[in-house]
Amino acid sequence: MGAEIGHFALILALLLAIAQAGFGAMGHRRLDPALMAAANVAAIAQAGFVVLAFGLLMQAFAVHDFSVALVASHSHSQQPFAYRLAATWGNHEGSMLLWALILSGFSAMVAAGGSAMRPGFHSLVVAVLGLLAIAFIAFVLFTSNPFARLFPAPLEGSELNPLLQDPGLVLHPPLLYVGYVGFSVAFAFATAALIEGRVDAAWARWVRPWILAAWVALTLGITLGSHWAYYELGWGGWWFWDPVENAALLPWLLGTALLHSALVLEKRGALISWTILLAILTFSMSMVGTFLVRSGVLTSVHAFAVDPERGFFILLLIAISTGSALALFAWRAPGMRSGAMFAPISRESALTLNNLFLMAATLVVFLGTFWPLVIDLATGNKISVGPPYYNRIFAPMMIPFLVLLPFGPMLRWKSDDWRAVAAHLKWPMLLAILVLLAAAAATFATFGWRGLGAALGFSLTAWLVAGSAAVLVRRWRGNDGFSLRLVRSTPLSTYGMVAGHAGIGIMVAGITAMAVFATSQVAALGPGESSSVGGRTVKLERAEMVQGPNYQALRAHFLIEDGGRIRPLLSERRLYPASGTTTTEPGIASGLGGITYVAIGDETNGKLAVHMWRHPLVGWIWGGALIVSLGGALALADRRFRAGLPALPRAAVPA
Amino acid sequence: MTGKRLMLAALLLLATAAGAVQPGEQLADAALEARARSISTELRCVQCQNQTIDESNAPLARDLRFIVRERLLAGDSDEEVVAFVQARYGDFVLLKPPMSGETAFLWIGPFVLLAIAGLWLAKRSRTMPVAPPQPLSPEDEAQVDAVLGHIAKD
Amino acid sequence: MNRALYLAPLGLLLLLLAGFSLGLDRDPKDLPSALIGQPLPAFELSALEPGGKPLASASLAADGEPKLINIFASWCTSCRVEHGKLVQLAGEGVPIYGIDWKDEPAAGRRYLAERSNPFRAVGSDPNGRAGVDLGVTGTPETFLIDGKGIVRMRHTGPIDDQVWQEKLAPMLAQLRAEAEA
């Protein structure tokens, strides 16, 4: 019964989305408050029904109702409860419903929270969100119905892929989707602005919290995905340049550019076309990403589904939504040029350069992902593009970008003198050079040129962290020396920026250390025997068979000796009888300096194959990314963007 | 019971993804083994979904790892080993796309586009001269201070 | 000039979407063989049946007859699916030679004994070396070589009626016409 109600709720949601779009458009046209209010109500009601539908699907998973086809193919009576719930989105249909849920949720929030906006504009944004909702709910209803029943209902389900039975599944997809779908709000804002033919600083102020929220979620989602792959897949990689990973990176890069471009728009009214274009393209990249994962166009470890028919529907969706938006762009944007001018050395210029670099990075990732398809269509040849390509192109491109980064926040708007800026950054520069020399001296003997590469990486870290801190120091010092008042009056968004940029620096350290100093070792060990990797001793104590809730495992007990300190470590190979698949659960011993990673392999002649890695500073990659997300959250929490500027008391302003 | 445990052990030995180079596969010569590992990270396992032969536990990956080591022992250079595999499996086995007419845009395109865009921007900004801001009069300065003072208090 | 620049994103989008929709019809896992147009790589495999004649690439290439070389294994389930079709083709006079790939010879012999044998000769490649030289990525795979011993086509996956009629039969007919000319 629940599935049918859920199905019906989705149909109602579709009808309400149509109402939302219709009322919103008409309300904008006629500036009629009643119509506009009706659109808002429709948006909220639509979200309510999608929530109901999603809740009912999740409930079917919770009680393992195997008469629902989706539950039968992705759940099992022995499957732990958390993974029964998370399995709701561990498949194509459910994850599309999750997409629709988040879209409706955002559109309801925009509908309810638009009091600061110009009513006509707000109504138009709600209408565009309604159109997007129609598209995605229709996609779910007509091609990917999660509520299909199975007659007769099987007594037992085929379980969720054991690789997915992990805490990562609980958080990673929802976070990612909040990110992907959250950018639809910026898309709607941009489209509405193009329809009206008008973009101004107020527009940038209204859209900024929505961009930030989506961006923070996407950053967290990608970070979590990377960490999950690291500890789940058994060989300790944290990024594979897999097409689906790239599909998440592309909107992230564009979203970062959008975030910064909107700053210029807000402060100076410049970079209008660029910001609008980025707002359209970021969400379009999200949709292209969804297309990739589900259509079978590219092979990937992640591919959800291989269904060209659904792929075609998504292409149609992209054609209509992005196509219309870009057509509007071609028509309206030439007439929306601002007169704001800025000097070659200014914050606007720096942020323009920022846009340029991020879009170039996006192009690199995009080309690497899709060039094989282009070549296949053009010549029939099959080439493949893997990590060696990205490492050779992406890294060199990012280095000048990161060197220039700390200058941006130090520059004044409109026009500045580069010597003054350099003076503010002289201590960070000095520190960076010191680190470069020290690291080079320490590593060149053993590592040669790769050591120099590592030295460059670490000096970039010092440069980014110190350069960001310098922003705070400059602000706190003011003109008359250090002042507590200035510390207290520093807006949260400044701390956000500092955290964001410093976090990148910390990530660079982790990436550098992993690229240059990671070591591995393979050995066949019997009980009591040991091997070593990266200066740590790994001793196999014993191996035993254990029983889990829905799996059996070979569990090996290790002792890791790390400079005198001894820690126990468990490493498992699990067999899930329901599906017959095996997974590796590597043992991870982590510390501030890095991780010792141990995975077990085959057993021959009483000896267990043990694969060991030493990953220095790998945790700094995710730690740094978390700090970056924190930065975004701090900026989001800044009251100034919600309360508006304070009113000036009349007496303070002399006549 | 024993039979079941044996079966279980056998099933567990069906490796999945667990860092694939087996203890018995490694070459005795450390330098050659390092070259083998390095070459393996640039070769795709064509039987799998997006893994290198160094990472994958598929039978084909194992075979290719043996072949790489065999060729290195026979004295091939790194390029010759890669060419050996490429001659049999095609360009698709290379994770680093070859530099050819088809892939020229892939390798050079981003830098060229970045350079073009950068030059265009530089040209545009040079035609936008901006006078440096004039210094404020003392009265204006006082007004600005008063206003800033109020904002800083909030 | 500027107006045209604003149209560029839309233009690029349409190109991209066209490319994707064409790409939907392609199978990214369907890899062309690197050996097309090249002579059959040299190999000499012992016969699967003990005491039989070895299967040598030289003799396969020298007899002037276009033929099929089928890679199979006893543990390969798709091979069982196509086996009936292979037997039928052999009955119609299509020359098919087999290579038992990465398989215990005893298991391979048992596999053929349990069904009819469509192969004129079968070689055993237990360690897969000949397979690597042929660029084999899995089973079943079928190579078509022409009268001069040049590899002209490779099909990955089982051969069914549709694959035979649309892909392999026309090619074989063409190769036979060339051989007669």
Name chain B contacts of A607, Cβ cutoff 8 Å. 23
Which among B47, B86, B87 is the nearest to C137, CB-wise?
B47
pLDDT tens-place string over residues B55-75: 887 888 888 999 999 999 998
What are the pLDDT digits (tens) for A28-80?
Answer: 999 999 999 999 999 999 999 999 999 999 999 999 899 999 999 898 888 89
pLDDT at A102 over 70: yes
Q: Tell whether C17 lies on the interface with A, counting CB pairs under 8 A.
A: yes
Do B49 and B86 fall within a single domain? yes
Most confident of the ranges A504-513, A526-535, B1-10: A504-513
pLDDT for residue A642 is more than 70: no
Q: Which range marks the domain in which residue B116 is found? A: 99-130
Q: Taking the CB of residue C80, how many other CB atoms lie within 10 A of it? A: 15
The answer to whether C132 contacts B87, with C-beta atoms less than 8 Å apart, is no
Q: Is C145 on the interface with B (CB under 8 A)?
A: no
Which residue numbers of A have CB closer than 8 Å to C's CBs?
273, 277, 280-281, 284, 291, 295-299, 308, 311-312, 315, 318-319, 322-323, 326-327, 329-330, 333-334, 370, 372-374, 376-377, 380-382
Mean pLDDT to the nearest integer, A322-333: 95
Domain count for chain B: 2
Pull the structure tokens for residue A576: 């899930």
C41 in A contact zone (CB under 8 Å): no
Residue B8 has pLDDT above 60, yes or no: no
Whether B134 has its CB under 8 Å from any CB of chain A: the answer is no
Least confident range of A189-203, C18-32, C142-156:
C18-32
Summarize pLDDT for B70-120 with one digit per residue, the tens: 999 998 899 999 999 999 998 889 999 888 888 888 998 888 988 888 888
DSSP, res A271: -
All partners of chain A with 3 or more CB pairs under 8 angstroms: B, C
- Structure token digits, residue C133: 């030289």
Kindly tell me if the per-residue pLDDT of C82 is higher than 70: yes
Overall average pLDDT of the B130-137 stretch: 60
Please indicate, yes or no, if residue B53 is contained in any of the structural domains: yes
User: How many beta-carbon pairs under 8 angstroms link A with C?
Assistant: 76
Give chain C's mean pLDDT.
89
Q: Kindly state whether residues B37 and B111 are assigned to the same domain.
A: no
| Contact predicate A326/A187, CB 8 Å | no
CB-closest option in C2, C28, C32 to A299: C28
Cα separation, C68 vs C153, in Å, equals: 10
Upstream peptide bond of A119 is cis (omega within 30 degrees of 0): no
pLDDT at A160 over 90: no
User: Encoding tokens for residue A346?
Assistant: 């200014």
The model's pLDDT over A531-580, given as tens digits with 9 standing for 90+, comes to 999 889 999 999 999 999 889 999 999 999 987 789 999 999 999 888 88
pLDDT of amino acid B16 = 38
- Pairing state between β A565-576 and A581-585: antiparallel
- 10 Å CB burial of residue A482 (0-12, 13-18, 19+) is exposed
Q: Tell me, yes or no, if B46 comes closer than 8 A to chain C by beta carbon.
A: yes
Which pLDDT does position B2 carry in this prediction? Answer: 41
**Above 80 in pLDDT, residue B140?**
no
Residue B87 and residue B34 share a domain: yes
Does a cis peptide bond (omega within 30 degrees of 0) precede residue B98? no
- Main-chain phi, psi angles of B126, to 5 degrees: -70, -25
Q: Where are the beta strands (DSSP E) in C16-59?
A: 44-45, 55-56
The H-assigned helical ranges of A269-383 are 272-295, 308-332, 347-379
Verify that B108 and B44 share a domain, yes or no: no
pLDDT at A132 over 90: yes
pLDDT of A325 above 60: yes
Q: What is the pLDDT of residue B15?
A: 36
Task: Please report which helix (H) or strand (E) contains residue A611, including its range.
Answer: strand A607-616
Q: Is A119 helix (H, G, I), strand (E, B) or coil?
A: helix
Q: Which of B93, B109, B142 is the last residue of a domain?
A: B93
Q: Is residue A152 scored above 50 in pLDDT?
A: yes
**Where is mean pLDDT largest: A26-30, B142-146, C43-47?**
A26-30
Q: Which of A4-18, A77-91, A195-209, A637-651 has the lowest mean pLDDT?
A: A637-651
CA quadruple A324, A327, A331, A337: dihedral, nearest 10: 90
In this structure, the answer to whether residues B10 and B39 fall within a common structural domain is: yes
Residues B69 and B114 in one domain: no
Residue B136 covered by a domain:
no
Q: Which of B72, B93, B114 is the last residue of a domain?
A: B93
B10 and B76: one domain? yes
CA-to-CA distance for A180 and A262, rounded, in angstroms? 18
For chain A, domain boundaries: 1-165, 167-180+194-266+278-306+335-412, 413-512+626-638, 519-618
pLDDT over 90 at B14, yes or no:
no
Largest CA distance in chain C: 79
Q: Determine the average pLDDT of the residues in C135-140.
A: 88
Mean pLDDT of chain A: 90
Q: What is the pLDDT of residues A172-181, one digit of tens each?
A: 999 999 999 9
B149 in any annotated domain:
no
- Asked if residue B103 is part of any domain, the answer here is yes
Ramachandran bin of C49, using left for φ above 0, alpha for ψ from -120 to 50, beta for the remaining angles = beta
User: Which of A150-159, A343-352, B7-16, B26-35 comes out lowest in average pLDDT?
Assistant: B7-16
ipTM reported for the complex, 2 dp: 0.85
CA distances from A207 to A181, A193, A276, C86 (A): 14, 11, 11, 65
Mean pLDDT computed over A159-175? 88
pTM, two decimal places: 0.89
Same domain, B82 and B109: no
pLDDT higher at C51 or A527: A527
Amino acid identity of residue A510, one-letter, is G
Rounded to the nearest 5 degrees, what angle is found at the Cα of B110, between the Cα atoms of B104 and B114? 140
What per-residue confidence (pLDDT) applies to A357? 94
**Residue B119: what pLDDT?**
87
Choosing among A278, A321, A332, A377, which should be mutated to test the C contact, i.e. which has the most C CBs within 10 A? A377
Do C33 and C151 contact (CB within 8 A), yes or no? yes
Cβ C23–A373 below 8 Å, yes or no?
Answer: yes
Q: How much is the pLDDT for A151?
A: 84
Contacts (Cβ under 8 Å, ≥6 apart) of A589: A560, A562, A567, A569, A595, A596, A597, A598
* Residue pair A225/A248 in contact by the 8 Å Cβ criterion: yes
pLDDT confidence bin for A303, thresholds 50/70/90: low
Give the Cα-Cα-Cα angle B127, A422, A464 (nearest 5 degrees): 105
Task: CATH number of the domain at B47, please.
Answer: 1.10.8.640
Set of chain B residues whose Cβ sits within 8 Å of the Cβ of A552: 8, 12
Residue C170 class from Cβ within 10 Å (0-12 exposed, 13-18 middle, 19+ buried)? exposed
Flag if B88 and C102 touch (Cβ within 8 Å).
no
pLDDT tier for residue B1 given thresholds of 50, 70 and 90: very low
Q: Checking DSSP bridges between strand C96-101 and strand C67-72, what pairing results, if any?
A: parallel
Distance CA A15, CA A28 (A): 20
Closest residue on chain B to A584 (Cα): B18
Between positions 359 and 388 of A, the ones with CB within 8 A of B are 359-360, 363-364, 367-368, 371, 375, 378-379, 381-388
Q: Domain for residue B73, yes or no?
A: yes
- Kindly state whether A491 is in contact with chain B, defined as any CB-CB distance less than 8 angstroms: no
Domain shared by B119 and B83, yes or no: no
Cβ count within 10 A of residue B50: 23
Per-residue pLDDT, averaged over A124-152, amounts to 94
Q: In terms of C-beta density within 10 A (0-12 exposed, 13-18 middle, 19 or more buried), how is residue A454 classed?
A: buried
Task: Give yes or no for A340 touching B (CB within 8 A).
Answer: no
Question: Which of A26, A331, A321, A30 lies closest to A194 in space, CA to CA?
Answer: A331
What are the tens digits of pLDDT across the range A431-490? 999 999 999 999 988 888 889 999 999 999 999 999 999 999 988 887 777 778 888 888
Helix (H) or strand (E) segment spanning residue A596: strand A594-604
- Give which of A190, A39, A208, A198 is closest to A127, Cα–Cα: A39
Name chain C contacts of B63, Cβ cutoff 8 Å. Answer: 102, 127-128, 131-132
Q: Do B5 and A545 touch (CB under 8 A)?
A: yes
Q: How confident is the model at residue B17 (pLDDT cuts 50, 70, 90)?
A: very low
The angle at the Cα of B116, spanning B115 to B121, to the nearest 5 degrees, equals 100
Which of B69, B88, B120, B124 to mutate to probe the C interface, most C CBs <10 Å?
Answer: B88
Contact C132 B88 (CB under 8 A): yes
Let me know if residue B144 belongs to a domain. no
The verdict on B59 touching A (C-beta cutoff 8 Å) is no
For the four alpha carbons of A270, A271, A277 and A283, in that order, the dihedral sign comes to negative
pLDDT on residue C62: 83
Q: Which domains are assigned to chain C?
A: 36-180 (3.40.30.10)
Nearest to B36 by CA among B55, B63, B54: B54
The string over A22-37, giving b where at least 16 C-beta atoms fall within 10 Å of a residue's C-beta and e elsewhere, is bbbbbbbeeebeebbe
A264 and A270 Cβ atoms separated by less than 8 Å: yes
CA distance A533 to B19: 15
Phi, psi dihedral angles at A165 (to 5 degrees) = -80, 80
- What are residue A518's phi and psi, to 5 degrees? -70, 140
Pair (B60, B108) in one structural domain = no
Q: What pLDDT is attached to residue A32?
A: 92
| β-pairing verdict for C141-145 and C151-156 | antiparallel
Residue with tokens 């190109």: C15
**Rounded to a whole number, what is the distance in Å from the CA of A554 to chain B's nearest CA?**
8
Residue B146 resides in a domain: no
Task: Provide the mean pLDDT of chain B.
Answer: 77
- pLDDT confidence band for B19 (50 / 70 / 90): low
Q: Which residues in A lie closer than 8 A to residue C6 (C-beta atoms)?
A: 273, 329-330, 333-334
d(CA C43, CA C23): 37
Phi, psi of A546 (to 5 degrees): -130, 165
Please check whether residue C162 touches A, CB under 8 A: no
